[in-house]
Structure 1
Amino acid sequence: MSRSNVLMALLMLTGILVVGQLYLTIPMISAIAAEFSASNSAASWAGTAFGFAYACGFLVFGPLSDRIGRRVVLVYGLLAVAIASFGLSFTSQISVFLGGRAVQGFLAASFPPVALSVIAEALPLEKRAFGISLMSFAFLVAAPLSQFFGAGVPQSPTSIMFMLSPFYVVMALALFVVVPKDQPALRPTGGKPHSHLSEMLANGLVSTGWFAALTVLLGFVAFQVGTVLLTQEADLSAQTVRLAGLPPLALSLFAAVMSKRLTPAVTGRVGMIVTALGLGIAIVPGALIAASVIVSSGVALAVPGLIATIAGAAKDHNRGLAMSIYTFCLFVGASIAPPLTLTLFKFGALAVFGLPAALLVTAVVIVTLAVSRRAKSVSMQPATGEQ
């Protein structure tokens, strides 16, 4: 096996272990509440605390790796996640556990953006696009796999954190060996950096893409949490529903081909519409398995579609910041979903799945208007004008 294939395999496995922490506690809400004598509402913040800090960390570690190097951020970040996970195993109060999850989430954010940069820089040119698709697949498949693990292992939540901590050490050591040595940090060549937030807010396709990102994982995670809550009252296993949603996530591997034929903006919007449709089907009693297939299919297209849309719409000098904010919005949506779903559950499945579906449809409309305005703007420019 070539070095690049080994690197890709290690990055995917590590991605599942790291990103899986965001979803790990979804099936463990009742177990967390029982271990700390807390309410389910308080226990649901185990995912939210991790997710908010995780989202904020993206704004820190991507730029940091530009300055001090990819390998050092990857390796020390994973070692720090291992220490945080090990520390969580000794907590005895829900407030300390939630605080530890926030620390763990912030440190876990050192992996995804840096891993994508390593793929873009270390893999042969002909393998990079497929490498990005494989990494996106790993990030998505982490959701059902981590929930399988969280629901299937009989140990307490703190014991599970203890069990996972050595794996981060092993992956840190493996990546230290395989990831190429860091090159000298790149220096900006044009004086002051030109990453102006106001300029990107004025770019309708970028700013509406951020809002769309907020709705995608909100809908995906709301479905996961809603599945746990509804299957407790029905003669159906949540694991069966998760298993049904696993194969369709492989559609993310074909999103690049679809984007090339239909444009990334179309791919992203198709994915969001399909996700909303799946959430709507989930409202129907007994339709959770079919809904799981459709929701996973939609998210598998929406996430890479929106990545390519925003990357293509942003200017060269703003693209890094645009993608950092995109990822921030994506995981803020994932973080909001657990407590929001628990709140909506008292109003029934229509509220649990209907609100995220409505937000997705709203995002599709807003992005469509932005695409239309951009097309009109480009058509009015001279042939030599900026496209």
Structure 2
Amino acid sequence: MNRTGLTARHVALLALLMACGFLVVGQLYVTIPLVRGIASRFAVDPARASLSGTAFGLAYAAGFLIFGPLSDRYGRKRMILFGLAGTTLATALVGMASGFGFLLLARAVQGLAASIFPPAALSLVTEDLPAQHRPLGVSLMSFAFLGAAPLAQLFAAGSNGELPAIMFQLAPLYAVGALGLAFTASSKRTTSAPQNDAQAARPAGLLRDPGIVAAWLAAVTVLLGFVSFYSGAQILGATIGVDLQTLRLVGLPPLLFTFAAAPLTRRYGATVTARLGLILAAAALGIAAIATPSAALLASALLSGGVALAVPGLIATVAGRTTNANRGRALAIYSFALFVGASTAPPIAQALGGLGAAPLWLLSAVLLLLAALGLTFGISRPSPSSPR
């Protein structure tokens, strides 16, 4: 038997982590099609109703900084199970909300609970899978996280549109996921060396690695460009003359490029994959600035493909330059940076959309190119965590 190959436990672990990834990250997007229903149910205007997504998103991003380091200390499996149990309860709480203020509070609690899963799951994949299969594991998780956006919206739009019913359907699924992972996730704990790992586990230790810092900064630009494109298309759609639903559908299949990231990473390295994705995304936004229907559709496909390569490439870059003692913290900061970019994109699009397509999308394109350049310089320096 090949002891370095994937076992049945590994396959089951990946399947469960992917399923939970779709369900957990999908909560970021599930209320988007439900805004009108939420507004009607709680007698608020749609602008206020959209805060149900903001409350989740802000707590979700902040939670990465809290719970990522805790997974380094208490173990990946323990934190994942705790997070899924908390998400089960918080999701049921959202379903029971009878007032709008209580709904926002429940969504914030739900976001905090959900934030435990992504960094711990990514660290678990990096540490539990055989070395040659880790890029595949990262690609699968990246696909789950990115694919959650359209799948969650499709699920919500295809339901009866009632928030409580959707939350009560989803809540038991998190509990089922936790039960499955209790049997498939490894319980091994890593102990850090008394000096080197303990020193590296501190934030200052990570900040001394220019490659990690460059990857964090690059992460901000990835979803900034991605969300800016679709937010800008919403603003400029009539001017460009492109059908928004078609634009979104065209961008779905290229997300499968996450699976191309694994062989690319194995052959050329994680940073090459990340830089290729950043450059492809920048090129897509440059094409979008032409502001014609055909250019927008081509840009949608290329942008999704670029993001699908950049996300796993950056994850693997960060994971590869860290140790078991600080990987959870490093990936938590990466996740935080990713969603900082996503959350700042809509107001930037609103501010620049009135100036036209070129100022809006070329800004993001330039930032993506600068991120690729910064990553090139950052990785030219050895990682303090790497053997010398």
Q: Tell me if both proteins adopt one fold, taking TM over 0.5 as the criterion.
A: yes
Of stretches 23-32 and 248-257 in structure 1, the one that deviates more from structure 2 is: 23-32
Query: What do residues 55-114 of structure 1 show as CA deviations (whole Å, max 9, x unaligned)?
Result: 222233333334444333223321211221221123354443333222111111121222
Paired AA for residue 22 in structure 1? L
Partners of 1:119 and 1:306 lie apart in 2 by 15
Please state how far the C-alpha of 1:293 moved relative to its aligned partner. 0.9
Paired AA for residue 302 in structure 2? I
- Please list every run of 5 or more consecutive structure 2 residues that lacks an aligned counterpart in the other structure: 1-6
- Please list every run of 5 or more consecutive structure 1 residues that lacks an aligned counterpart in the other structure: 379-384
Percentage of identical aligned residues: 45
Please state how far the C-alpha of 1:350 moved relative to its aligned partner. 4.4
Is 2:276 the counterpart of 1:270?
Answer: yes
Partners of 1:334 and 1:190 lie apart in 2 by 38
SS for the counterpart of 1:188 is: coil
> Which of the numbers 298, 301, 306 marks the counterpart of 1:298?
306
Paired AA for residue 361 in structure 1? L
Partners of 1:360 and 1:81 lie apart in 2 by 34
Compared CA separation, residues 106 and 10, structure 1 to 2 (3 A): same
SS for the counterpart of 1:89 is: helix
Q: CA RMSD in A?
A: 3.3
> Which of the numbers 288, 303, 327 marks the counterpart of 1:282?
288
> Which of the numbers 140, 147, 159 marks the counterpart of 1:134?
140
Q: State the match for 1:310 in structure 2.
A: 318
Compared CA separation, residues 364 and 34, structure 1 to 2 (3 A): farther
Q: State the match for 1:221 in structure 2.
A: 227
Q: State the match for 1:190 in structure 2.
A: 194
Query: What do residues 280-305 of structure 1 show as CA deviations (whole Å, max 9, x unaligned)?
Result: 33341324432221111000111122
Partners of 1:339 and 1:96 lie apart in 2 by 26
Whether the 8 Å CA contact 2:123–2:331 is kept in 1: the answer is no
SS for the counterpart of 1:189 is: coil
Please state how far the C-alpha of 1:10 moved relative to its aligned partner. 1.6
Compared CA separation, residues 157 and 239, structure 1 to 2 (3 A): farther
Please state how far the C-alpha of 1:18 moved relative to its aligned partner. 0.7
Q: State the match for 1:334 in structure 2.
A: 342
Compared CA separation, residues 167 and 272, structure 1 to 2 (3 A): same
Q: How many pairs align?
A: 376
Paired AA for residue 307 in structure 1? I
Is 2:87 the counterpart of 1:91?
Answer: no
Please state how far the C-alpha of 1:172 moved relative to its aligned partner. 2.2
SS for the counterpart of 2:194 is: coil
Please state how far the C-alpha of 1:344 moved relative to its aligned partner. 4.5
Compared CA separation, residues 297 and 317, structure 1 to 2 (3 A): same
> Which of the numbers 34, 55, 60 marks the counterpart of 1:54?
60
Whether the 8 Å CA contact 1:75–1:172 is kept in 2: the answer is yes
Partners of 1:121 and 1:200 lie apart in 2 by 19
Q: State the match for 2:154 in structure 1.
A: 148
Partners of 1:44 and 1:256 lie apart in 2 by 36
Partners of 1:149 and 1:236 lie apart in 2 by 24
Paired AA for residue 193 in structure 2? T
Please state how far the C-alpha of 1:234 moved relative to its aligned partner. 8.3
Q: State the match for 1:381 in structure 2.
A: none
Is 2:367 the counterpart of 1:359?
Answer: yes
Whether the 8 Å CA contact 1:47–1:338 is kept in 2: the answer is no
Compared CA separation, residues 170 and 253, structure 1 to 2 (3 A): same
SS for the counterpart of 2:96 is: coil
Compared CA separation, residues 152 and 236, structure 1 to 2 (3 A): farther
Paired AA for residue 305 in structure 1? G
Q: State the match for 1:382 in structure 2.
A: none
Within 5 Å, which residues of 2 pair with 1:167-186? 167-180=173-186, 182-183=187-188, 185-186=189-190
TM-score w.r.t. structure 2 length? 0.82
Paired AA for residue 61 in structure 2? A
Paired AA for residue 339 in structure 2? F
